[in-house]
Chain A
């Protein structure tokens, strides 16, 4: 019986868990310290990790190539209105981007990198709306359809309006959807509930199809039944690639590198890039000041505020604090200069 099998499985879970607990605590717990390992210098470690020789390179390439035969099926599923969700061990970034660019050659494709630390979902949706607007204009059906002639710029519209626009009435040419590729939809930049809700609403729009990848074993916990069945409408594919998680792992600290105090300038750069243009400019002011006054203790916050305000970067002091408090950026920045 199915039920018995399921019960057995559940029993197995708990048994394993308690066994693990037992060996962990009551058994002789190894007291050895991480510091007993003769860890090489961090710089060396980073260099070495950049030059790790890939194993099974050809086998991995063959495996990824073997998924090419599935491309037509994936296109079929997208056309049927499903969202594709790829899971399995290994980075799937290049796989799904390759799929999108070769098999969906006639469609606009927007890629979201969910593995980055912060992603502004509204900007993504604005960009999608702009692409769709262009597309509709080209199809010359816009004028006859009576879309608003004088149109408010997308960047100043509300989320609801933008989503309503993307969820426009069924078009004549049904297949003119925009494909949104989401690398790591369970990534740190997209993991919060609000963003997931917006992504779900986005996925249910008539002009949008989503191709996403997950890597975390608990990723399905991000979604409730409404999101899974009615909005994302996932079609699951198990596509392990065993490709190394290069970009995805870039932002995680190396376990043998001591502490996070010595983050490299490169990581700082990445965090900086994920900021809004205005926030970036605020940091530019700071950096320029620091470079031109190397002996100074630092820039007074009031000075920074007045300069930023003059350049229309911030409107109030509160706005100024937002970028400054982000992820201990001050520390990173001092290192860079």
Chain B
């Protein structure tokens, strides 16, 4: 068992640390199921799957605590519900994005298969021989689909290739997914073969031999292509990959393999890693996946803008996630992970988040009983009144009905917000307006409260003011785009707006009005000149019409401005949004990006803040003997260059440890007599100081902040980190 923390005296000697388990490479700390059966026999009506409170030290006899537990379990349930919804939405979105490419690949696979078949199928005696058939050079061609991922981060495409595999399997192909890890120099070509056999034959045979695969294919009635997908060829070992290709190409008549390879950089990639004899076997075709930015926008639209789970993120969180994506990590995967961390945090910290379970599933008439969520009404009301958003609106009396009303109001406002954002998005889509940027701007409560959108719009109209002030304002950019549209384009855009605002009569009416005006204009113009298409309007100068269309696009621009001003309420401005909205950006950042390099150094440099001891806090930055040894040593190391002379380091450590007043006294005592008297004690403490010095050096070595002396420089240790 692990040493318990409750022990007041932690093991004081190393010998105690030598417990059996600490020196085992691994050990079983406890086995679960026995306790589980105990729990089951006690049989509560509802199976509580997990006792989250068991860890907390309080005695759980309290009813309040039990309620709290129940609430926690409900929150877990709500989290699972919400997250599975978000996850499946993301999967669907990504699948839809890839649909076209996938079906393109699928047709190509079948065509290639037919071509291979047309070269002839092996006769029975030939087919049963355990060596390949080669008739001519053509029969050695391996059809290869190069899928350009347009993304250096292959982690985003893992799912894509997995889905592609599933898609092709569904279409009747035999599919195996190989990763670059299967192509290592260590395992050689045998490694990939073994993986193929595992996936096709569902068994692992030790002598991995391709003739086994051939006989397997003969037994499967030979009517379906065999597809091998390699997710990222640039990370494969070139020689192994070329061996693999050469081997497959020899067997291609017996096993009609079609290769699909992911390429992150350019089409030259195979040429860079494969030798010419392997390249000659390939018969390449090219496919292209969507860019990460496109995928990101699709995910943001489906999960954060359109109604999905009810869970939303606050402005600061969104901006952090956007910056992390744009300038640090660059993968959609990490964006989704960040979202999941945010979601976890939210459900853990917000007791009322259980409401999301119903909020997401029900449409209207939200009726809920507080008691169902395992919290007493008093607790809830108290909690609700503490929301800053509710204090702002000064709610004085709350009932279940008023809460339900507030929620439906929130939903209504969110719908309006959504419609406006989507209208802006479709407007700017062609001009590279990214939904992620737009989203971040649209949920900014501050600029909304200050009416910034409004002032920016005004500045926009005035070209002199605009340039610097509006820089980066995506919303304004979208609005400006509306002004420059031709009548035909405007017509299309208004149609889209009309569809997007269907549920919101206030906006929808205005859009329809504008659309009818446009139709009238159109009618006029076509009456005047029946043969001319709207495109040529500009070439034929018809002042009237141009003026009208100009005024129409102005009207449209005004409309969208007014939509932004009046209907785009960021969620953070709506009462009760705290229940649904995660805003704690610092927590998210800490959980998502651990920074051990900085963290560990700060621990050492500012340890007194963490340990909260009184003895080590002094006004000056002086080192005190009571400080943690390793901390003293690390602070001392800061005074050295990249090399630390161990002798000097030791001496300064010793002088600090020995001097009670932190002033570095000269070590030679002026009185030799006195010195003699304390000599014995000193020699004793000498050993302990040296031991402490050694321990501190070892600890610094464990943290990686120090490199031990090399043979060339036996008297110097090397500093590794410079600055936080």
Contacts and interface: CB of A to CB of B under 8 A. Distances in A.
A23 interface: yes
Nearest to B643: A24
B719 A20 contact: yes
Interface residues of A, number: 143
A235 B611 CA distance: 24
A256 to B, nearest CB: 5
Given A30-B645, A158-B204, A245 B702 contact: yes
Interface string B603-620: 110010011110000000
B640 A246 contact: no
Nearest to B206: A158
B43 interface: no
A138 B37 contact: yes
Interface string B689-724: 011111101110111110011000011010111110
Contacts of B703: 89, 215-217
B628 A242 contact: yes
B524 interface: no
Interface stretch (A61-69, A279-287, A289-297): A61-69
Nearest to B616: A56
B5 A65 contact: yes
A113 B22 contact: yes
Interface in A146-203: 158, 160-161, 173-176, 178, 181, 189, 194, 197
Interface in A2-21: 2-3, 12-13, 15-17, 19-21
A304 interface: no
Nearest to B604: A89
Interface string A223-262: 0111001100111111010111111111010111100000
B24 interface: yes
B17 to A, nearest CB: 4
Interface residues of B, number: 124
B690 A45 contact: yes
With most chain A CB atoms within 10 A of its CB, the pick from B337, B607, B703 is B703
Contacts of A38: 686
Interface in B322-344: 323, 327, 329, 331, 333-334, 337, 340-341, 344
B31 A225 contact: no
Contacts of A226: 154-155, 158
A315 interface: no
Nearest to B693: A256
A32 B704 contact: no
A247 to B, nearest CB: 5
A189 B29 CA distance: 20
With most chain A CB atoms within 10 A of its CB, the pick from B594, B648, B720 is B594
A323 to B, nearest CB: 15
A225 B329 contact: yes
B12 A234 contact: no
B536 interface: no
A127 interface: yes
B23 A116 contact: yes
Please classify the interface of chain B as helix (H, G, I), strand (E, B), loop, or mixed, using the class held by over half of its residues.
Answer: helix
Contacts, number: 366
B57 A68 contact: yes
A327 to B, nearest CB: 15
A67 B596 CA distance: 18
Given A34-B715, A112-B25, A235-B591, A75 B79 contact: no
Contacts of A21: 641-642
Interface string B21-43: 11111111111110111010000
B55 A68 contact: yes
A108 interface: yes
B645 A160 contact: no
Contact of B333 (A75, A89, A225, A250): A225
B57 A254 contact: no
B593 interface: yes
A110 B27 contact: yes
A129 interface: no
A22 B2 contact: no
A158 B155 CA distance: 26
Nearest to A226: B155
Contact of B14 (A131, A220, A250): A250
A225 B153 contact: yes
B590 A236 contact: yes
Given A119-B26, A131-B28, A87 B702 contact: no
B123 interface: no
Contacts of B599: 87-88, 238, 240
Interface in B629-684: 629-630, 640-643, 645-648, 650-651
A257 B694 CA distance: 9
A125 B303 CA distance: 37
Interface in A23-71: 23-25, 27, 29-30, 32-34, 36-40, 44-57, 59-65, 68-69, 71
Contacts of A300: none
A297 to B, nearest CB: 31
A114 B18 CA distance: 15
B23 A273 contact: yes
Contact of B600 (A48, A61, A89): A89
B640 A88 contact: no
A38 B687 CA distance: 10
Contact of A87 (B4, B195, B594): B594
A326 interface: no
B586 to A, nearest CB: 12
A50 B5 contact: no
A13 B724 CA distance: 8
Contacts of A266: 18
A248 B17 CA distance: 10
A85 interface: yes
B344 A72 contact: no
Given A51-B688, A52-B692, A255-B646, A217 B601 contact: yes
With most chain B CB atoms within 10 A of its CB, the pick from A36, A135, A139, A244 is A244
A56 B608 CA distance: 10
B348 interface: yes
A288 interface: no
A62 B5 contact: no
A80 interface: yes
Contact of B158 (A15, A97, A181, A230): A230
B135 interface: no
B10 A111 contact: no
Contacts of B195: 160
Interface stretch (A98-106, A305-313, A328-336): A98-106
Nearest to A101: B2
A109 interface: yes
Contacts of B603: 88-90, 240, 242
Interface stretch (B45-53, B414-422, B480-488, B565-573): B45-53
A166 to B, nearest CB: 15
Interface of B: 1-5, 8, 10-15, 17-18, 21-33, 35-37, 39, 49-57, 72, 76, 79, 83, 153-155, 158, 181, 186, 195, 198, 204, 323, 327, 329, 331, 333-334, 337, 340-341, 344, 347-348, 590-594, 596-597, 599-601, 603-604, 607, 610-613, 626-630, 640-643, 645-648, 650-651, 686-688, 690-695, 697-699, 701-705, 708-709, 714-715, 717, 719-723
13 contacts: A45-B694, A48-B691, A76-B76, A97-B29, A100-B29, A108-B33, A109-B30, A113-B22, A176-B36, A225-B334, A249-B702, A252-B701, A274-B23
Given A57-B10, A68-B55, A256-B694, 8 more contacts: A22-B641, A54-B10, A55-B629, A73-B348, A85-B594, A100-B29, A107-B30, A217-B705
List the 10 closest A-B pairs by CB distance, nearest first: A24-B641, A236-B594, A97-B2, A71-B55, A103-B55, A49-B691, A48-B691, A23-B641, A89-B603, A16-B722
